[in-house]
Amino acid sequence: MGDSVKRVLFVNSEIFPYLPESRIANIGRYLPQGIQERKKEIRSFMPRYGCINERKNQLHEVIRLSGMNIIINDVDRPLVIKVASVSSARMQVYFIDNEDYFHRKQIYRDENGIFFPDNGERAIFFARGVLETVKKLRWAPDIIHCHGWISYVLPAYLKKTYIDDPIFSGSKVVLSLYDDINDISFSGDFKDKIVFGGLAAEDIPLSGNPTGTELAEFAAKYSDAVIMGSDSIPKELDSFCRKSGLPVLDYNAKSFEDGSYIDEYNRFYDQL
């Protein structure tokens, strides 16, 4: 793409300061700012988890973007879009919200540490919510950069259901892989619920109770490039990405320590 990369959409599972600091949350906070400072336009999305204090963080609903419904498992669920500003970075963050999926106080697990059984549905709602909102914004991204498992069904929807939409016809997906949920299992009907539009069951190579690693491979299958965001990516996942012939940016611990990963990522975008 080179100089043609002008717009980057960030689809994040976590962003600091809305959630506590972590590798993913810090990248979600500082990478978009850094890319914006390197003269690219950015938009950034994350789920509006119930633990996020709307008053403290000054979230407000964007009425013109809200109001549509997303159907999952034959149930209509309203999509609510909220926005807040990171004033120190002159950057806005859009939040995908829905009372059933995101108003609980925990993020991925209940108070006993159990992975929520509807996390697959939450990922579906988040992915489709982001894509529908970007359509409404009429903002065509050159790169869509996905971070964290809750973004992992988005690449397949983009390539199978939304690819003929002029907003996304030129978009390429960059997938950052972490070690967040490698061994977690999703519900047995997750695969059936993902089916939507041009994305059919035969396009979804997931088993009965897919693991986080399987879901990451599914995301990589429909991505255009992969970034290793951790030094503990499962060997089978690393091998899958490399055998697929995808451009891969290897993990570089030093670049996270000194902040130079932002320039590395920016160059990687421009090479796609």
pLDDT digits (tens, 9 = 90+) for 19-54: 999 999 999 999 999 999 999 999 999 999 999 999
Rounded distance, CA 41 to CA 142, Å?
A: 10
pLDDT tens-digit profile of 55-77? 999 999 999 998 899 999 889 99
Of 47-51, 89-93, 117-121, 166-170, the one with minimum mean pLDDT is 89-93
In the block, tokens 């690219």 appear at 40
115: nearest Cα among 192, 211, 26, 27: 211
Res. 160 pLDDT band, cuts 50 70 90:
very high
Neighbours of 52 (CB within 10 A): 22
For residue 143, what are its two tokens?
């790169």
Residue 180 pLDDT: 78
Instruction: Kindly give the pairing relationship between strand 80-86 and strand 60-61.
Output: antiparallel
CA distances from 9 to 19, 43, 217 (A): 20, 5, 21
- Tell me which residue has tokens 């109770």: 209
**Confidence (pLDDT) at 59:** 95
Q: What phi, psi does 91 have (nearest 5°)?
A: -135, 135
CA distance 125 to 137: 18
Q: Which residues contact 108 (CB under 8 A, 6 or more apart)?
A: 115, 116, 119, 181
Is the distance from CB of 147 to CB of 28 less than 8 angstroms?
yes
Angle at 37 between CA 36 and CA 43, to 5 degrees: 10
Least confident segment among 140-144, 182-186, 239-243, 268-272: 182-186
Q: What is the tens place of the pLDDT at every residue in 215-242?
A: 999 999 999 999 999 999 999 999 999 9
Identify the pLDDT of residue 67: 87
Q: Mind listing the pLDDT tens digit for each residue in 162-211?
A: 989 999 999 999 999 998 776 789 999 999 999 999 999 999 999 889 99
What is the reported pLDDT for 148? Answer: 93
Mean pLDDT of 131-143: 97
What pLDDT is recorded for position 4?
77
Q: Hunting for tokens 């336009």 — which residue is that? A: 41
User: Torsion angle, CA of 183/159/246/6, rounded to 10 degrees?
Assistant: -110
The dihedral of CA 237, 179, 142, 121: what is its sign?
A: positive
pLDDT band at 1 (very low <50, low <70, confident <90, very high): low
Helices (H), the chain: 23-37, 54-57, 99-102, 119-137, 154-160, 190-194, 212-221, 235-243, 253-258, 261-271
pLDDT recorded at residue 2: 55
* Cα–Cα distance, 81 to 67 (Å, whole number): 9
Q: How far is CA 18 from CA 131, 144, 237, in A?
A: 22, 21, 30
